[in-house]
Amino acid sequence: MALAPRWKSALAKAIEKDGKAAVFQLASIDSATNTPRVRSHIHREFISAQATPSLPILVTTTDIRTPKAAQILSNPTIETVFWVEANQEQYRIIGNASVIPTPLHPYHAQFDPFRGPALTALEREGIDWEAKRTQIFDSMSGHMKASWCRPPPGIKLEGGYEEAKKWPQKLPTFSDVESEEDKNILELALSNFALVVIDPFEVDFVELGIVPNQRTKFTRQEGNWVEEIVVP
Amino acid sequence: MALAPRWKSALAKAIEKDGKAAVFQLASIDSATNTPRVRSHIHREFISAQATPSLPILVTTTDIRTPKAAQILSNPTIETVFWVEANQEQYRIIGNASVIPTPLHPYHAQFDPFRGPALTALEREGIDWEAKRTQIFDSMSGHMKASWCRPPPGIKLEGGYEEAKKWPQKLPTFSDVESEEDKNILELALSNFALVVIDPFEVDFVELGIVPNQRTKFTRQEGNWVEEIVVP
């Protein structure tokens, strides 16, 4: 059975060694204006089906109310880039992205669980996305969780920062909830929280920490990755 | 006279404090496939015309043979993102990009020095882009300079890394050239070296290092920047 691809092992190791390497940038297209958009994200985990360890999916999270959710729905091919300062490594990962909100959100009907082969394999093994979404949400810091019960990100902040001081700054975990009010706020935050999963099909891995520099292009073919050495 | 915008002062200060903050990501669109592309870049400097200190241009560099040069020519609206780990700040900068290669390169004819107001102001003050290009090239490390005399980036590396070991690993500055051969290699590298200049018109500045978090949207209007406080 095919093993995890070399780019995935290297990236996972870099993130394990230094949490700062988990920050990456995700680029999408705003179709309305035909402009590229890009913002920083935090990588949460790799998942792969037991049947296809060579096909890892990248999991990150978002607020379902941000423009990128609509952008990804309208054009699911995205590119992400990880710059690992400590190793002088760059990983550019092109893939199909899917947004997975609460099943109650209208966007949920547009989630295609068979968009790519890795997603399809996970679906066949019966992955419970709603359980995964809740688990990742609950594992986040109280401060992060509080960010999903604010007004929609990017809209004008009526009342300025004085208004912002009134927002909850920290939410508990579900097991630590003590009041009905806390529970409602937590449910509100969870209702705005969505997973973004990326099923990669091309990876450009540049290693600038070694001389001569190395660069490898990985292309997914029939459940395996073909490597080509290219000019850095 | 309008001063430099607050986002520019904050970003310049962050980069001055920690060189790692100069690494940013530049997103463009590959029109042929309608996919977003993104890769890491190094910010080289801000330039602004004396008449318009409120309109800074960002200068970075590239190899004119990379796909992004053609992508920017075909769709000059780009977005860049700086993530400043130390301050937990994110700067998303949307602007018009221009590619400035040697005047001998066919792409040079497509350089529009009046694409944006900052570029126009610099042009009116007689900026010498070829002198700027040569000066920035010469200020780079010998190792970086050597990267521009390799075969075109991204093509298959015939002969593998054994072949790469034969490439020059380091080039001198122009003033340290000792042989005709060195001079020719340096000229070759310079012929592949191009500036990428970005004339920003919208900046999204998020400050996650302060509580409550702050987020400001800056929009360029008539040579000034209008600030709006938005929800982080």
What pLDDT shows up at residue A148?
97
Locate all alpha helices (DSSP H) within chain B, ordered by sequence. Answer: 6-17, 67-74, 117-124, 129-139, 142-147, 160-164, 180-192
Answer whether B27 sits within 8 Å of A37, measured CB to CB.
yes
How confident is residue B95, by pLDDT bands cut at 50, 70 and 90? very high
CB-CB neighbors (< 8 A) of A211 in chain B: 143, 169
A9: left (phi over 0), alpha (psi -120 to 50) or beta: alpha
Q: What is the pLDDT of residues A65-86, one digit of tens each?
A: 999 999 999 999 999 999 999 9
> Of A40, A78, A228, which has the smallest distance from its Cβ to B90's Cβ?
A40
Q: How far is B81 from chain A (nearest CA, A)?
A: 6
CA B202 to chain centre: 17
* pLDDT value of residue A2: 74
pLDDT tens digits along A130-158? 999 999 999 999 999 999 999 999 999 99
CATH architecture of the domain with range B6-136+192-229 = Roll (2.30)
Nearest-CA neighbor of B136 among B229, B47, B69?
B47
pLDDT band at B1 (very low <50, low <70, confident <90, very high): low
Q: Which amino acid is at B169?
A: Q
DSSP state of A101: -
As a whole number, mean pLDDT of residues A165-176 equals 94
The per-residue b/e assignment along B207-231, b for 16 or more CB within 10 angstroms, e otherwise, is bbeeebbbbbbbebeeeebeeebbb
More confident residue, B223 or A62: A62
Question: Shortest CB distance from B151 goes to which of A79, A85, A231?
Answer: A231
The arrangement of secondary structure in A6-137+193-229, i.e. its CATH architecture, is: Roll (2.30)
Residues 157-176 in B contacting A (C-alpha not used; CB under 8 Å): 157, 160-161, 164-165, 167, 169
Angle at B90 between CA A105 and CA A204, to 5 degrees: 80
Under the banding of pLDDT at 50, 70 and 90, the label for residue B2 is confident
Res. A161 pLDDT band, cuts 50 70 90: very high
Size of interface A-B (CB pairs under 8 A): 158
- The pLDDT tens digits of the residues spanning A40-62 come to 999 999 999 999 999 999 999 99
CB contact under 8 A, A157 and B29: no
- Residue B193 pLDDT > 70, yes or no? yes
Compute the nearest-CA separation of A153 from chain B (Å). 5
Both ends of chain A: CA-CA distance in Å? Answer: 31
pLDDT for A147: 96
Distance from CA of B77 to the nearest CA of A (A): 6
What is chain B's mean pLDDT, rounded?
97
Q: How far is A180 from chain B (nearest CA, A)?
A: 24
When pLDDT is averaged across residues B157-183 and rounded to a whole number, the result is 94
Does A165 sit within 8 Å of B212, measured CB to CB? Answer: yes
B 166-225 residues with CB < 8 A to A: 167, 169, 204, 211-215, 217
In chain B, which among 91-150 make CB contacts under 8 A with chain A? 92, 94, 143, 147, 150
The rounded distance, in Å, linking the Cα atoms of B227 and B219 is 7
- Output the DSSP codes for A119-178: HHHHHHTT--HHHHHHHHHHHS-HHHHHGGGSSPTTSB-TTHHHHHTTS-S----GGG--
Name the residue among B71, B76, B77, B83 with its Cα closest to residue B14. B83
Tens-place pLDDT, residues B16-29:
999 999 999 999 99
60-79 of A, contacting B, C-beta below 8 A: 75, 77-79
The pLDDT-based confidence of A1 (bands split at 50, 70, 90) is low
